[in-house]
């Protein structure tokens, strides 16, 4: 029982460590990386995808954090 | 990214985490008992050393492309969360981290808790408080040192920078026996948030197959762009805080404790 609680605790820690209080950021980063990979497989440069994603994700995350509950 | 830049980046990021861990250990030692707090500190450092010993070689064995994709993605998600909090603090929407207030809060909680002897640890509360503080903050130190070091093929230098940061902060903490409130922690967190986000973007894109124009020389431009965007977002938050403070009451003071 205590082992199970320990494992759950580790996963909860990892989730909080990587995902934090806004899961949308983690999902958006994964999608942006996937788009980068898809664009890199074409003849178009793909380096700009992640910087643009950051410029979009940050204001949205801030807006979500400051909106009245 | 040269060795000097790697050292500075890891040192600054780890110093911020070390300040928070030092505050917790100091609170456990001051309010409860120093011996148990120091045993907790030692136990936490042993756990972290085991994690580094296991993960270090494992991370080094991963092919660079996959490593940069995974590590870049993790660093980017982690960095954006960190930068978001730093921007919220600078924009007056989240309480500034105040080590004196954090120390007072930990001391008050520690004094109210009941003590218990377990084995050779005379005060279990002081031990667990110190142990958990060191392990939780230390994991971030390990994560930053391993991700930066592995991407630059220089885990040794990253580890030296991390250990140096921890030793410097710990030495100052032991010398003053008080929370390190003079460390410009909130400014450091802002800088570190920009670095984590920039490096995460750079390595994540490379791992996903993109090629940066000018290779490594595009990194300073990326850092500058993230810095400018962050400053603009702080200005936006401050402006909306000023215009909306009377209505929403979402602005905060600096005396509160923030994580």
Could you read off the pLDDT of B27-85 as tens digits, one per residue?
A: 888 888 889 989 999 999 898 888 888 887 787 777 777 888 888 888 899 889 989 99
Q: What range does the domain containing B81 cover?
A: 3-248
Please report residues of B whose CB lies closer than 8 A to that of A15: none
Q: Do B250 and A20 touch (CB under 8 A)?
A: no
Residue A26 or B114, more confident: A26
Q: Is residue B214 part of a domain?
A: yes
> Taking 60 as the threshold, does the pLDDT of residue A62 lie above it?
yes
Say what angle helices B3-31 and B155-176 make with each other, to 10 degrees.
Answer: 30
Q: Do A58 and B87 touch (CB under 8 A)?
A: yes
Please tell me the pTM assigned to this model.
Answer: 0.77
Whole-number Å distance between alpha carbons of B135 and B51: 10
Would you state the pLDDT for residue B182?
67
Say if CB B29 and CB B111 are below 8 A apart: no
Closest residue in chain B to residue A63, using alpha carbons only = B237
Number of domains observed in the structure of chain B: 1
Q: Do B93 and A65 touch (CB under 8 A)?
A: yes
Which of B73, B80, B207 lies nearest to residue A58, judging by beta carbons? Answer: B80
Q: Is residue B254 part of a domain?
A: no
Say if CB B208 and CB A46 are below 8 A apart: yes
Would you state the pLDDT for residue B154?
84
Please report residues of B whose CB lies closer than 8 A to that of A62: 84, 87-88, 91, 233, 237
Domain coordinates in residue numbering, chain A: 21-69
Please report residues of A whose CB lies closer than 8 A to that of B74: 18
Residue count (chain B): 259
Would you state the pLDDT for residue A13?
73
The separation between the first and the last C-alpha atoms of chain A, rounded to the nearest angstrom, is: 36
The tens digit of pLDDT for each residue in B169-211 reads 888 887 777 666 666 777 888 888 899 899 899 989 999 999 9
Q: Is residue B157 part of a domain?
A: yes
Identify the burial level of A6 via C-beta atoms within 10 angstroms of its C-beta, where 0-12 means exposed, 13-18 middle and 19 or more buried.
exposed
Q: Is residue B84 part of a domain?
A: yes
Residue with tokens 């949308």: A24
């Amino acid at each position: 029982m205590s082992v199970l609680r320990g494992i759950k605790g580790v996963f909860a820690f990892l989730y909080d460590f990587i995902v934090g209080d806004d899961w949308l950021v983690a999902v958006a980063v994964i999608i942006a990386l996937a788009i980068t990979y898809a664009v890199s497989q074409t003849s178009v440069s793909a380096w700009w995808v992640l910087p643009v994603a950051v410029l979009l994700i940050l204001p949205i995350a801030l807006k979500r954090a400051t909106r009245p509950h | 990214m040269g060795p000097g830049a790697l050292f500075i980046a890891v040192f600054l990021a780890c110093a911020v985490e070390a300040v928070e861990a030092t505050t917790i250990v100091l609170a456990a030692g001051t309010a409860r008992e120093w011996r148990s707090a120091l045993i907790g500190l030692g136990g936490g450092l042993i756990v972290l050393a085991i994690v580094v010993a296991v993960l270090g070689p494992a991370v080094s064995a991963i092919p660079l492309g996959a490593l940069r994709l995974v590590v870049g993605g993790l660093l980017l998600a982690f960095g954006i969360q960190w930068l978001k909090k730093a921007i919220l603090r600078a924009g007056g929407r989240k309480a500034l981290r105040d080590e004196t207030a954090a120390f007072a809060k930990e001391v008050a909680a520690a004094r109210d808790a009941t003590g218990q002897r377990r084995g050779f640890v005379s005060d279990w509360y002081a031990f667990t408080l110190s142990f958990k503080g060191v392990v939780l903050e230390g994991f971030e130190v390990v994560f930053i040192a391993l991700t930066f070091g592995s991407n630059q093929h220089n885990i040794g230098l990253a580890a030296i920078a991390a250990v140096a940061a921890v030793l410097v902060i710990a030495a100052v903490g032991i010398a003053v026996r008080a929370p390190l409130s003079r460390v410009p922690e909130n400014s450091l967190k802002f800088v570190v948030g920009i670095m984590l986000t920039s490096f995460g973007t750079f390595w994540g894109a490379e791992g996903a197959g993109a090629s940066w124009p000018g290779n490594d020389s595009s990194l300073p431009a990326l850092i500058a762009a993230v810095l400018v965007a962050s400053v603009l977002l702080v200005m936006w938050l401050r402006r909306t805080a000023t215009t909306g403070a009377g209505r929403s009451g979402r602005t905060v003071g600096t005396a509160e404790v923030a994580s």
